[in-house]
Structure 1
Amino acid sequence: MARRIGILGGTFDPVHIGHLRGALEVAEFMALDELRLIPSARPPHRAVPQVAAADRLAMVELAVVGEPLLRVDDRELKREKPSYSIDTLESLRAELAADDQLFLLLGWDAFCGLPSWHRWQALLEHCHILVLQRPDADSEAPEALRNLLAARSNNDPLSLQGPGGQISFIWQTPLAVSATQIRSLLASGKSVRYLLPDTVLTYIHAHGLYRGAH
């Protein structure tokens, strides 16, 4: 039987219930064998994360304890160069059977930014792309993606066949939680309880993370 594996990358600075709940919903809806959370070391398109890679990894590992569908993959943190998704997909593919299915989860904003990604046109050689689209999203994709969508999109994410090559959309109402909001609250000494798992909050306090800086 071909395995079905989802991957969700991010800085996870810090990981919160928006990441975790969204990932779990997709894993269950798509009947995935596992969904891997992949913390990025040096994301090419974002500011440098506020806390060290080791801390971000530790928080994600604490967050998924006891949830068998979610696991953590630290391969990007072991690389010396920027975290390019194509490199991650190629290294994952090398470890999997030829018919295993890989699903790359992207938010709508990230998906619209694909044409600026390193070797972005090669992504679908290794995976299917699942775009997590909010019901209120402006659903006009940039022109650079229109031909790709016309050729590769599939309206039913549950019908995606083969190891990769197609794009589908999953409508999600995300939890209105952001890492930026959490960092700001922590910096000003306010409570962030219930915005992230208690294990992650305990780690943040124990290590004095996010104090006094936004």
Structure 2
Amino acid sequence: MDQLTVVGRPEPFVLRPSRAAVVVVDMQNDFVSPGGAVEASGHDVSAVAATVEPIARVLTFARRLGLRVVYLQHGYRPDLSDLGTELSKNRLIHLAARVGQPVSAPDGTEGRVLVHDTWNTRIVDRLAPLAGDLVVRKSRFSGFHDTMLDDQLRQLGVEDLIMTGCTTSICVESTIRDAMFRDYRPLLLTDCVAEPQGRAYHDATVGLVESSFGWTAESVALLDAVVAGS
């Protein structure tokens, strides 16, 4: 099929499957799972955890359509050399979040908060990448900052980005903003993103995307469009 029309806001979104990818932002243990860094800091991760099944359904349909699936994975080198300069905001907020600290992971391994190649930064099992999926590691909120994401998407001919993941107002919004600046067309699936800081932050991002940075829809609208076009 050449294109699908998805009921959304501020108007229907015309999705071109041959030029589309689903982006899964930071659905990793530290942000989603019991025992992860976000829960350990006192935040409720239930809203983020509730997005796992809607995202899984979207990925099933996307793969049937032949859409590319892209995972963003936030984390740092074991020596934290990519954390930022001494007084950078990125360094300060992540040190406050205990980046690099050793923890006993629920799977019995020794983890480290937000360090790559540990339980903490592993994509949750239900959404684990499959062969052929693209996994992009990042050390800042935006998936485009200091990564090869832009180059890889352009090589694949991707222009339409179906956005899912966490957290709505930080890494998802940062990535959407950078996508729009590069002339990608972001579609934010509102039930496939969530915000542990509170619903107000989530709603603010949804409003900003609708007004300035892209389009929004519920995942059922996307799946209905797929069924109608098949």
Band the TM-score falls in, shorter-chain normalisation? 0.3 to 0.5
Which structure carries more relative contact order (alpha carbon 8 Å, separation 6+)?
A: 2
What TM-score does the superposition give when structure 2 sets the normalisation length?
A: 0.43
More strand by share: 2
Q: TM-score, normalised by structure 1?
A: 0.46
